[in-house]
Amino acid sequence: MNMRALSLPDSLVETLSRLTMRFNFLKGIKFGRAAVISVPTFWLALFFFIPFVVVFKISLAESEIAIPPYSSLWEWDAEEFYLEIKLTLGNYLYIFEDALYVEAYWSSAKIAAVSTLIALLVGFPMAYLIARSDPNKRTLLLALVVLPFWTSFLLRVYAWMGLLKKNGVVNEILMGLGITDSPIQMIQTDFAVYLGIVYTYLPFMILPLYTALEKLDGTLLEAAEDLGAKPYQTFFLVTLPLAIPGIIAGCLLVFIPAVGEFVIPALLGASDTLMIGRVLWDEFFLNRDWPMASAVAIVMLVILVLPIMLVRRNQDKETV
Amino acid sequence: MALSQVKSQESVMTSTKELPLWKQDGAVPFLRIEGVTKKFGEFTAVDNVSLDIYENELFCLLGGSGSGKSTLLRMLAGFEEPTSGRILIDGVDMAGMEPWKRPVNMMFQSYALFPHLNVFENIAFGLKREGVNKKEVKERVMKMLDLVQLSHLAKRKPNQLSGGQRQRVALARSLIKRPKLLLLDEPLGALDKKLREETQFELMNIQEELGVTFVVVTHDQEEAMTLATRIGVMNNGVVVQTDEPHDVYEYPNSKFVAEFIGSVNMFEGRVIEDEVDSVTIASKEAGCQLFVNHGINCSPDQKVNVAVRPEKIRITSEKPAQTANCVYGYVEDYAYMGNMSVYKVRLYSGKEVRVTQPNANRKSMERFTWDQEVYLSWDEESSVVLTS
């Protein structure tokens, strides 16, 4: 079981190194290996690590009405040979003092978790069917799963607004069929937020699940049946346990972006749908409190990274 | 090989005291395959196969790839439904019965061990599905682990085992439910030669101990010869011959069987004299008359093949007394293989004949070398006439 092939950076490195294996002249040359690994490393450093450090730095400053709108962390007086460092943890403390932030984190995690669960329940049968379908059709089916990405994410969310609004397509059809007399309030509800998140992130659930299920050896299922397992027992005792790497990968890929989601709750959700992405936006653009917004972002990152690291550590223990 | 053959036949003899079941009139077969056909679209994988397999038999289905042997096995396990025909196990018609309800277990060619379960859990899987209580599961699994000598590895995962160990786990897993009928798909295929030989004997011992009826699918004639009480040779979806290993080897009923099992020299010829208990055949390929001391069903002047096994041919430098069954040629190539020598002799008709000579004595054996002219001869009971 290759449990390690889960996390994105890892699988990226793996894919790249597999690609280079095909070019035999690189084989056995240390330089080639280093060059290959350096590309994603450089990418991560440039677009993740450095911005992260900048944000972390800002989160330790104080808000000021200036350009940029935060205090600098140190002042160097060259004449007196005097270095003054000013760091504040006030922003972080404030997050835990004001119930708004805690509630926003909690509600984001809840919405993301429920959406992830729904995506898993919807995505698993789809992935299973694709993995078990005729190999010639699989490519087409997978292409269909990815097809929505050909349209801008924002446009698709707007499309949902059109579908769900009071005199939108869905309500028109429901009333036309006589299922309901008056339009149902769908937009600006939690329902619309769940729908939007599940719809948007479903492919990220299906693809890793498909990879795990496609690798599943059919004779294992036959062996289980042969030993007296009924189909549902075969599913829960063989198929599901062997799909766990895919399930974990899919859930992480849906949960993580869903927690920080801003556009979907803003456009489809009610004004009281509290999500941390929205709080972050308000802090940054309305309050212009960059240090506070940075602290909110850092805390969110820690909240997301910790469980992933725990999962990874468990897996490492299992594989040893 | 010879030793184990004797052994397997002995075991059948002792367990039935007299004639083996398949030779007794009116014996009831344990597994009955009646006119079973399986088609995949236009392709006929198994073509009207009928077989009776008896209790405690170790029956080998022998055939090349695409001969339909695996499809037949999968129909017994319930993974495929016959297009037509019936399968009866212990008198019960298996039609429409799902795999998990059949009194049959299978050992898969790839072993199909569950990678997420350890050895103990793999073996216990079938028992747990039966609802056997925990204590009994533990007892029976431990006993089974003992039998296959893997007690010390109960906690290991399949990927931490060697090929031979995996194979034994797979065997244990398929035996734990005490099936009436055990199906084995190329059970020794993935093992190296030495391990195979050991396992063959182990398999036979287990079979004797537990009294299970085995149906083994294999493409390896040596494996079939060693293991089987009877062999069913399959070709293109049809069972072409069903016999005891000795008979399949010594009395093949067709050119295909003679050539598929062991190596053989085949002489083409025409029947010139057809008596009740003997046949004389004129063969241009052999360059002499061939005399066979068993009768056949044939018309005069019919084209037939005479098959002679390489080890039944004598090779001499002087002309033997007999006139029939004696051909003349020169040594084109030879190989010394330790226990025996193999000669390729080219006859003046252009025909190549393969001869093996056991190196029974260290010194006194006559040896032949390249281009040496030699006579090849064999006894009248050593060859077989094949009409098909």
User: Nearest CA to CA, how far is B273 from chain A (Å)?
Assistant: 56
pLDDT in the model for residue A304: 86
Series of mean pLDDT values for 10-residue runs along chain B (388 residues)? 44 57 86 95 94 92 92 95 94 93 93 95 95 94 89 94 90 90 85 74 78 90 87 94 93 92 91 86 88 81 90 91 89 89 92 90 78 91 88
Q: What is the pLDDT of residue A5?
A: 40
Judge contact between A203 and A249, C-beta under 8 A: no
Chain B residues lying within 8 Å of A247, measured CB to CB: none
The Cα A14–Cα A161 span in angstroms is 40
Element (H, E) at B374: strand B373-377
Q: Which CATH class is domain B2-103+179-255?
A: alpha beta
Tell me how close the Cα of A136 comes to any Cα of chain B, in angstroms: 18
For residue A227, give the nearest of B79, B105, B110 by CB distance. B105
Q: Peptide bond before A68: cis, by omega within 30 degrees of 0?
A: yes
In DSSP notation, B102-147 reads SSEEEE-TT----TTS-HHHHHHHHHHHTT--HHHHHHHHHHHHHH
Contacts of A217 in chain B (CB under 8 A): 110, 112
A239 vs B contacts (CB less than 8 Å): none
List residues bridging with B183 in a β-sheet. Answer: B106, B215
Query: Tokens 């009281």 — which residue?
Result: A272
Distance from C-alpha of A125 to C-alpha of B147, rounded to nearest angstrom = 42
**Chain centroid to CA B358:** 24
Tokens, residue A301: 């990152």
Smallest Cα distance from A134 to chain B, Å: 16
Q: Are strands A74-77 and B352-358 parallel, antiparallel or unpaired?
A: unpaired
**What's the confidence (pLDDT) of residue B8?**
46
Pairs of residues, one from chain A and one from chain B, whose beta carbons lie less than 8 Å apart: 59
A230, closest residue in chain B (CA to CA)? B100
| Closest partner CB to B100 (pick from A217, A219, A225) | A225
**C-alpha dist (Å) from residue B333 to A93, A162, B118, B313, B316:** 93, 87, 53, 16, 16
Cα B10 versus chain centre, distance: 17
Distance CA A203, CA A142 (A): 9
Q: Which amino acid is at B236?
A: N
Q: How does residue A181 score in pLDDT terms, banded at 50, 70 and 90?
A: confident
pLDDT of A88 over the 60 cut: yes
Band (A317; pLDDT cuts 50, 70, 90)? low
- Which chain A positions have a beta carbon within 8 Å of B100's beta carbon? 225-230
Q: What is the pLDDT of residue A26?
A: 46
The CA distance from A216 to A234, in Å, is 13
- Is the complex ipTM higher than 0.90? no
Residue B302: CB atoms within 10 Å: 15
Smallest CA–CA distance from A245 into chain B, residue = B116
Q: What is the pLDDT of residue A18?
A: 60
What does the pLDDT read at residue B347? 92
What is the DSSP secondary structure assignment for residue A5, as one 8-state letter?
Answer: G
Q: What is the pLDDT of residues A256-270, one digit of tens each?
A: 999 988 899 989 988
Token pair recorded at residue B102: 């059949």
The predicted pLDDT at position B97 comes to 94
Residue contact B125–A219, C-beta within 8 A:
no
Residue ranges per structural domain of chain B:
2-103+179-255, 263-386
How confident is the model at residue A6, as a pLDDT? 45
DSSP state of A65: S
Q: Give B-chain residues touching A229 at CB under 8 angstroms.
A: 100, 125, 129
Nearest CA in chain A to B100: A228
pLDDT one-digit tens code per residue, A41-72: 999 999 999 999 999 999 999 888 888 888 88
**Continuous H helices in A177-217:** 190-215
Instruction: Please spell the DSSP secondary structure of B296-364, one letter per residue.
Output: ----TT-EEEEEE-GGG-EEESSPPS-STTEEEEEEEEEEE-SSEEEEEEEETTS-EEEEEEE--SSSS
Chain A residues within an 8 Å CB radius of B129 = 227-229, 233
Contacts of A220 in chain B (CB under 8 A): 112, 114-115
Contacts of A224 in chain B (CB under 8 A): 114, 125
For the segment(s) B263-386, the CATH number from 2.30.30.90, 1.10.760.10, 2.40.50.140, 2.60.120.260 is 2.40.50.140
Smallest CA–CA separation between B29 and chain A, in Å? 23
Q: Best mutation site among A216, A227, A234 for testing chain B: the one with the most B CBs within 10 Å?
A: A227
Of residues B98, B108, B116, nearest to A223 (C-beta) = B108
Closest by Cα among A207, A201, A187 to A115: A201
Nearest Cα residue to B286 out of B368, B169, B384, B377: B377
In chain A, the domains with their CATH numbers are 98-288 (1.10.3720.10)
Separation CA A142–CA A130 (nearest Å):
7
Query: Can you read off the two tokens belonging to residue B34?
Result: 């009646």
Largest pairwise CA distance in chain A: 86
pLDDT in tens, B325-358: 999 999 999 998 888 899 999 998 889 999 998 8
Question: Taking the alpha carbons of A262, A264, A267, A268 in that order, is the dihedral positive or negative?
Answer: negative
Q: Which two tokens stand for residue B233?
A: 């040779």
CB within 8 Å: B110 and A217: yes
pLDDT over 90 at A180, yes or no: no
Estimate the crossing angle of helix A8-21 against helix A30-44, to 10 degrees.
Answer: 150
Task: Give the integer Cα–Cα distance in Å for A121 and A285.
Answer: 37
Q: Enumerate the H helices of chain A as residue ranges.
A: 8-21, 30-44, 50-59, 90-97, 99-132, 135-146, 153-164, 169-176, 190-215, 218-226, 231-234, 240-259, 263-268, 276-281, 290-319
Q: Which of A219, A228, A241 minimises the CB distance to B126?
A: A228
Q: What are phi and psi of B163, to 5 degrees?
A: -55, -45
